[in-house]
Amino acid sequence: MTDYRAYSYWLETAGDDLAPRPPLPHSLAVDVAILGAGYTGLWTAYYLQEANPDLTIAIIEREVAGFGASGRNGGWATPTFAVGPAGIARRFGPEAARSLQSALYGALDELAAVLAREGIDADLVRGGKLRIARGLHQLPAIRQAYREYQQVGLGDHHRLLDSAELAERIRVDGALGALWTPDCAVVHPGKLVRGLARAVERRGATIYEQTEVTDVVPGATPRLVTPAGDVQARTVVLAGEAYLSRLRLLHRQLIPVHSLIVLTEPLSDAQWEAIGWSGRECLASTRLSVDYLSRTRDGRILFGGRGAPYHLGSQLSDGQDRHAPTHAMLRRMATEWFPQLRDVAFTHAWGGPVGVSRDWMPTVAYDRGSGIASARAYAGQGVVVSNLAGRILRDLIVQQDSPLTRLPMVGHRSPDWEPEPLRWLGVRYVQRGLLRTDARAERRQRPPSGRTLAERMGAH
Ligand SMILES: Cc1cc2nc3c(=O)[nH]c(=O)nc-3n(C[C@H](O)[C@H](O)[C@H](O)COP(=O)(O)OP(=O)(O)OC[C@H]3O[C@@H](n4cnc5c(N)ncnc54)[C@H](O)[C@@H]3O)c2cc1C
């Protein structure tokens, strides 16, 4: 039997029995059938139950609840999109950017409130976020980000810190300053997803695990098709994020990109004394190829980043979660941030897929004609966004017009990704190009020009 604890430190330490729930025994008819027991599927179930406790809800999960990105992520509960407020303002107008941002701030509050209400202890600490300039080449990016927040009226949620102010919070090698915001929390992703699963079960939903949805049939009574039978419903919700790229229906709407993580052993009090970081802020630099860090409750450093190659045809396999060269790169990067870590053991390494659309925008949509709803393509920022998506899907499904249903990702259709092998060529070119651009910027201590082909192709 699969040992799901091996998929991440979070699943290992969620404090929940990971023995699979029974699979779907035979065909069923319910009000709402949900593909996927990650945050999106579970939040959607949770809010639908709140709106109408009599709804019958079946959640169909190929592995176990939390198997996907929800049980493996970096633990940043950040009220942000991959497309920042300035990008949203350019594409959808300044008012849309402000409404979206205020909904995202609200979603972080809501997430914390539900945890308290449902008695889910997911170690949530609202420590804020620091985007750190590690070297002269990264200073312009944090200043630019600050200007953009000011332009859309969010300047008061952010503050630029100089190196001395930053060092009062945390000592990072080569750090020259940071952009600080209080609007971010760190959370135990495994406790969150497993706690949510228990909460929706308490309210009457059934989660069928070890059951793969092999097809989706839209129509007046849409269906999820599985080897054990069909789940027929009034509404079908596709909440499989990166894995949705496996479905014919959405194959070119998003691609799986792997995010990988390494984790240290618990640091000693003396090591923490040298580093600081008592506020447990979420940390990142301004690297184009992405890095993210968090401090766990038991005193470990989590260091995440990208680099595992995209596979032709959006293939997804366990091996991609364990790409050894990327894990080695992340361990090296962690010791560059904190030279003290040279003598510290890295005890865990894992990863998982994030769904990325062609325009980097998430989609939250419900097509009443086909009976199919979906929320997807969070591009690695789904911990808070999935809560918002769950409430939007509730409003769309119960036909309740609300400010949430007018947000820019609602009903959004991203352009399709290119057919293969063009998609593979382009994505790999951008992946390699951004790593090279970061290395060059660091070597020369000059910011990336923004003009290389990889930067322009990967811009969002
Ligand atoms: C390594 C990593 C680090 C990340 N760090 C952060 C972070 O710090 N902050 C942040 O906000 N976001 C982060 N993310 C992204 C975030 O975790 C995701 O956006 C979020 O968890 C998506 O939730 P979801 O429920 O939509 O998808 P998932 O959690 O992926 O759940 C989808 C579920 O659907 C199931 N499924 C898929 N296909 C089928 C099928 N055919 N039949 C049945 N079941 C199926 C899967 O088994 C899975 O359990 C990270 C992601 C990864 C991988």
The answer on pLDDT for 130 being more than 90 is yes
Whether the bond into 421 is cis, omega within 30 of 0 = yes
In a domain, 423, yes or no: no
Residue range 70-92, pLDDT digits in tens: 999 999 999 999 999 999 999 99
Confidence class for position 224, pLDDT limits 50, 70, 90: very high
Residues 336 and 227 in one domain: no
pLDDT of residue 424: 95
> Over 90: is that where the pLDDT of 241 sits?
yes
C-alpha–C-alpha distance, residues 338 and 221, integer Å: 56
Establish whether residue 374 lines the binding site of ligand 1, counting it when its CB lies within 6 angstroms of any ligand atom: no
Q: Answer yes or no: do 310 and 367 share one domain.
A: no
Whether residue 36 has its Cβ less than 6 Å from ligand 1: yes
Cβ of 47 less than 6 Å from ligand 1: no
Do 193 and 331 reside in the same domain of the chain?
A: no
Can you give the pLDDT at residue 377? Answer: 98
Of ligand 1's listed atoms, the one at least distance from the Cα of 258 is 53
Alpha helices per DSSP H over 152-256: 163-169, 189-202
Which pLDDT does position 455 carry in this prediction?
A: 86
Pocket of ligand 1 contains residue 351 by CB under 6 Å: yes
Q: What is the pLDDT of residue 459?
A: 82
Output the CA 67–ligand 1 centroid distance in Å: 8
The mean pLDDT value for 46-75 works out to 98
Claim to verify: residue 334 and residue 272 sit in the same structural domain: yes
Lay out the sheet containing 282-284: strands in order across.
159-162, 175-181, 129-134, 282-284, 291-295, 301-306, 255-264, 346-356
Q: Is residue 104 part of a domain?
A: no
Same domain assignment for residues 296 and 171: yes
What pLDDT sits at residue 240? 98
207, 291: one domain: no
Q: For position 319, what pLDDT does the model report? A: 85
User: What is the distance in A from the centroid of ligand 1 to the CA of 17?
Assistant: 20
Query: Ligand 1 in contact with 307 (CB < 6 A)?
Result: no
Domain boundary among 375, 391, 406: 406
CATH of residue 297: 3.30.9.10
Domains held by the chain: number? 2
Whether 317 has a pLDDT exceeding 90, the answer reads no
Q: Long-range CB contacts (< 8 A, 24+ apart) of 108-115?
A: 108/77, 108/78, 108/79, 108/183, 108/184, 108/185, 108/384, 110/387, 110/391, 111/77, 111/185, 111/187, 111/383, 111/384, 111/387, 112/185, 114/46, 114/199, 114/387, 115/192, 115/195
The CB of 387 under 6 Å from ligand 1? The reply is: no
Q: DSSP character for 30?
A: -
Which ranges constitute the DSSP H helices of 342-413? 385-397
Q: Which atom of ligand 1 is nearest to the CA of 385?
A: 11
Ligand 1 in reach of 9 Cβ (< 6 A): no
Rounded to an integer, the average pLDDT of 146-168 is 94
Ligand 1 atom at minimal distance to the Cα of residue 213: 42
420 in any annotated domain: no
Look at residue 304 and tell me if it is in a domain: yes
Q: What is the CATH number of the domain that holds 206?
A: 3.50.50.60
Q: Is the pLDDT of residue 314 over 90?
A: yes
Q: Write down the pLDDT at residue 139.
A: 97
Q: Are residues 138 and 216 in the same domain?
A: no
In a domain, 278, yes or no: yes
Give 426-458 pLDDT, tens digit per residue.
999 999 999 999 999 999 999 998 888 888 888
Q: Using the mean position of ligand 1's atoms as its centre, give its distance from the Cα of residue 164 in Å.
A: 38
Q: Is residue 108 part of a domain?
A: no
Domain end among 289, 318, 353: 353
> Are the CB atoms for 99 and 403 separated by under 8 Å?
yes
Mean of per-residue pLDDT scores for the chain: 96
Closest atom, ligand 1, to C-alpha of 75: 8
Task: Report whether residue 316 contacts ligand 1, using a CB cutoff of 6 Å.
Answer: no
Mutation choice for ligand 1 from 104, 363, 378, 409, CB with most ligand atoms inside 8 A: 378
Task: Please give the Cα distance from 39 to 181 (Å, whole number).
Answer: 24
Considering the domain architecture, whether residues 245 and 276 belong to the same structural domain is answered as: no
Centre of ligand 1 from the C-alpha of residue 294, in Å: 18
Q: Is 37 in the pocket of ligand 1 (CB under 6 A)?
A: yes
Q: Are residues 223 and 323 in the same domain?
A: no
Alpha-carbon distance of 368 to 396, in angstroms, equals 9
Round to whole Å and give the CA distance between 288 and 276: 26
Domain membership of residue 456 (yes or no) is no
If asked whether residues 263 and 247 sit together in one domain, one would say: no
What digits encode the pLDDT tens for the residues 266-313?
999 999 999 999 999 999 999 998 999 999 999 999 999 998 999 999
**Are 196 and 135 in the same domain?**
no
Beta carbons within 10 angstroms of residue 345's beta carbon = 7
Average pLDDT for residues 385-390, to the nearest whole number? 98
Mark whether 226 and 176 lie in a shared domain. no
Q: Is the CB of 69 under 6 A from ligand 1?
A: yes
User: Is the pLDDT at 374 greater than 90, yes or no?
Assistant: yes
Whole domain around residue 285: which residue ranges?
129-181+258-353
Asked if the structure places residue 434 within a domain, the reply is no
Number of H-type helices and E-type strands within the chain:
12, 20
